[in-house]
Chain A
Amino acid sequence: MGKTIAEKILSTKSKRDARANDIVIADLDFTMGQDGTSGLAIRAFNEMNAARVFDPARVAMVIDHSAPSPLEGVSALHQQMRNFASNQGINFYDIGDGVCHQLVPEQGHVVPGDLVIGADSHTCTYGAINVFSTGVGSTDLAAGIISGKLWFKVPETIKFVLNGTLPRGVYSKDLILYLIGDITADGATYMAAEYTGQAIADLSIEARFTISNMAIEMGAKCGLMEADDKTIAWVKEHSKKAFEPVKADADAVYAQVLEYDVSSLEPQVAKPHTVDNVAPISAVAGTPIQQGFIGTCTNGRIEDLRIGAEILKGKKIAENTRLIVAPSSRQVMLQALREGLIEIFVESGAAVVTPGCGPCVGTHNGVPSDGENVISTANRNFKGRMGNNKAFVYLGSPATVAASVLTGKLTDPREFIK
């Protein structure tokens, strides 16, 4: 009987024949914490009486969620991370370096076939380059950086076969929102997702990251894709590590196989206050918007900025509307500067903020006011997510955000795309 990608990676890393629902202890290739979770991980590390991390090259800490620090308490947490990183000699990324999920693949830390944990729920992002990566809590991270191992329940897999070609003005963000709306916020709980088909093959690696990033929003443990020529070229460009891609067997056993044709998909929007509350743009167009946000680990990459800038070029955002742009890393910011994208954003009336998580998690950088509507490229729209439980957050593609801030209301981006 064949195996899924998840079963194969967990078999290799646990050195046993791992099948869905087995519990295994497996070797970790890389581990990561951010500033919302590392403080508790360091506390657990100390309470566990550990002296050194298992391998400093396989550990990273990133200050991205609340960076630069807006508060004394946060500054203390950041200081603690800097001290730990310096004492242990681990990889460390400070304010302005970028979002952890952009940095980990961009800096070449992970390659196809790897097993990775991160104390951040969107660690599933690297599934797009054939990495079994999953979010854990701080205590799991502490155990992982001490022992280089973690226990895993081998997940069953739900396979998404995505046929057809996405229409003009419709992006990978629209596709993943549609899938989450279809199978709901717990449709893949405890499971791995595998995404395959022509629609995935056609996407760039950057666009694929958007899909794997949001696997957690359907409850999945990871969002895996096979490595094709594009993946291999992308990884070689970013990493010097040797790797062996992992394919699912033709006779692998899946909990469910779901097929979709994406050829007539419309731009999609997740309405407040859950990610699976999804509607086509036509159903919500015209809703007034006070703030737009382009950025995050979902959609803050160079391609996303290009898509947004293309629509905003030479135009001004609507009166009484704001736009915040947070490039997902220092490299992305530099590239955007070279291409003149930052100039386009600033001239259009946007506020460009530090590479990092920006206002996504509600700690700083653009907390909306009571009763305001926000259209964001982020991955979560929970009540209070952006720091105010009386605000309303809609999620869409960078194109939908750019089009909506031009008109001051939710707008179909295809009106602005030639």
Chain B
Amino acid sequence: MSLTGKVHKFGDDVNTDYIISGRYKFKTLDMRELAKHVMEDLDPEFYSHVNKGDFIVAGKNFGCGSSREQAPLAIINADVSAVIAKSFARIFYRNCINTGLPLVECDTDQIDPGDELEVNLKEGILYNKTKGLEIPITPLPPVMLKILSEGGLVEHFKKYGTFNLD
């Protein structure tokens, strides 16, 4: 699975309230509707600027704060193809795997807004096409790769009815 897109860059400690504010998440379960407000408190123009396949790139501790799964779902429904950060908060990390949003842990200092990236999760490669630079990424543990490659935990349970991770 190879992903290609442009970079939208954010800083450290992007919390789930910034990804999708509590004032929207209670209003609806329509994720396409919620997606219109994704990252709004940090960048009001984000939704109008993001194109299908683009990447959210950030510093450390991305997704800290609440357990709301609306955060990865709103990102998916804004057609972002993956989130790339130096580190992730753990509930957000699980939620990405479970909902099928690819995430990449790596040094993001050499990725700038507007850069074009190519990501291959299976092979563990991130290539910054704009800078002609290959950046090493931390591979996902097999359990998580399995759930992600099946399309998330819902698909896993549809298939097996319970956990089947061995």
Contact = CB atoms under 8 A, between A and B. Distances in A.
Given A77-B29, A139-B99, A146 B69 contact: no
Contacts of A36: 22, 25-26, 66, 68
B90 A219 contact: yes
Given A48-B157, A362-B21, A382 B26 contact: no
Contacts, number: 148
Contact of A190 (B72, B73, B90, B165): B90
Interface residues of B, number: 43
Interface residues of A, number: 56
Interface string B9-27: 0000101011001110111
A383 interface: yes
A121 B66 contact: yes
B152 interface: yes
Contacts of A66: 26
B130 interface: no
Interface string A207-246: 0000000001001010000000000000000000000000
A105 interface: no
A139 B23 contact: no
Given A37-B67, A146-B157, A140 B94 contact: yes
A389 B21 CA distance: 9
Contact of A382 (B15, B73, B98, B143): B15
A161 interface: no
Contact of A40 (B21, B61, B69, B141): B69
Interface stretch (A130-138, A297-305, A323-331): A130-138
A71 B91 contact: no
B32 to A, nearest CB: 14
Interface in B81-137: 87, 89-91, 94-95, 98-99
Given A40-B69, A119-B67, A363-B22, 7 more contacts: A74-B27, A119-B69, A139-B152, A150-B163, A185-B13, A219-B64, A383-B17
Q: Which 8 A-B pairs have the closest CB atoms?
A: A137-B95, A186-B61, A48-B157, A137-B69, A139-B98, A121-B67, A73-B27, A382-B17
5 contacts: A25-B165, A40-B73, A136-B94, A146-B157, A363-B22
